[in-house]
């Protein structure tokens, strides 16, 4: 498990997170994963909004949120803490996928009193070996000035990234700047430089005993028998649910089963 130095995070108005909200009722805040954005979660947010106030949020260096050279889990957890203060949310359900899952776990350790139920999607609070190197190299050497359309961008990415699903996921974060030139919405330079911070585990020295769901894909190796034991030691009130046939993007691979598991967990006493 990772150890982080004690730190202070100063939040200014220019550092407020971009978000969308749906529905009324008890709050749920949803955080996306690496290279993602709140747009990945609109469909599920609308479904959950039948019974909840759902907030989908762009984490720093992603989507339409601010860019910053400071980027690690304690910092992103404090971004979330500020977001709750900003919107008058004392206690909330939290859901995070992958990088977002580590953010909500860090938040649960730091601010356990602010969580009702915690939902962690296909990630454990452990160190991971680098596994995005080819993707990062393809992005950092991709010449955005050479493309004139999204189709051209897909063709260029296809030379290095063979999986069309991964390319389409990345292209959702392709936007245009004020001069109408193509640009990435995520802060590629900081992500490239500080990628090791995403791989680090969470400091679980204090543990978390709140109600927690770990939901993971059958075809994913992010949660496995080796780290389930460690999770159980640190998250003492955790339950585990495996989604058949799903990979790391559980919510996209099996959306109906995914949302059913989330709703069942939220409705359980």
CA dist., res. 123 & res. 36, Å (int): 15
Q: Which residues make Cβ contacts (< 8 Å) with residue 104, sequence separation at least 6?
A: 31, 80, 94, 95, 96, 118, 119, 120
Residue with tokens 């897909």: 154
Contact 213, 188 (CB under 8 A): no
Q: Which residues make Cβ contacts (< 8 Å) with residue 94, sequence separation at least 6?
A: 28, 29, 31, 80, 104, 107, 108, 115, 117, 118, 119
Distances (CA, A) of 231 to 72, 129, 225: 20, 18, 10
Q: Which residues are catalytic?
A: 98, 189, 248
How many Å separate Cα 223 from the centre of its chain? 15
């Amino acid at each position: 498990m990772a150890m982080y130095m004690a730190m202070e995070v100063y939040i200014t108005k220019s550092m407020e997170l971009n978000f969308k909200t749906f529905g009324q009722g008890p709050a749920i805040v949803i955080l996306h994963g690496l290279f993602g954005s709140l747009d990945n979660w609109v469909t599920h947010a609308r479904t959950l909004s039948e019974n909840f106030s759902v907030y989908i949020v762009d984490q720093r260096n992603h989507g339409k949120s601010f860019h910053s050279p400071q980027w690690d889990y304690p910092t992103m957890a404090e971004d979330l803490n500020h977001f709750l203060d900003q919107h008058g949310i004392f206690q909330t359900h939290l859901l995070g996928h992958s990088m977002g899952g580590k953010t909500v776990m860090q938040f649960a350790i730091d601010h356990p009193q602010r969580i009702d139920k915690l939902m962690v999607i296909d990630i454990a609070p452990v160190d991971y070996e680098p596994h995005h190197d080819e993707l990062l190299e393809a992005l950092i050497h991709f010449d955005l000035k050479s493309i004139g359309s999204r189709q051209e961008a897909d063709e260029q990415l296809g030379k290095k990234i063979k999986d069309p699903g991964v390319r389409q996921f990345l292209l959702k974060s392709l936007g245009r700047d004020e001069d109408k030139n193509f640009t990435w919405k995520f802060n590629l330079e900081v992500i490239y430089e500080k990628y090791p911070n995403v791989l680090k585990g969470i400091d679980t020295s204090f543990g978390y005993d709140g109600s927690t769901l770990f939901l993971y894909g059958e075809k994913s190796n992010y949660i496995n028998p080796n780290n389930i034991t460690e999770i159980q030691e640190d998250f003492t009130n955790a339950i585990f649910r495996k989604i058949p046939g799903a990979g790391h993007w559980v919510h996209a691979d099996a959306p109906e089963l995914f949302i059913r598991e989330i709703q069942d967990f939220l409705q359980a006493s």
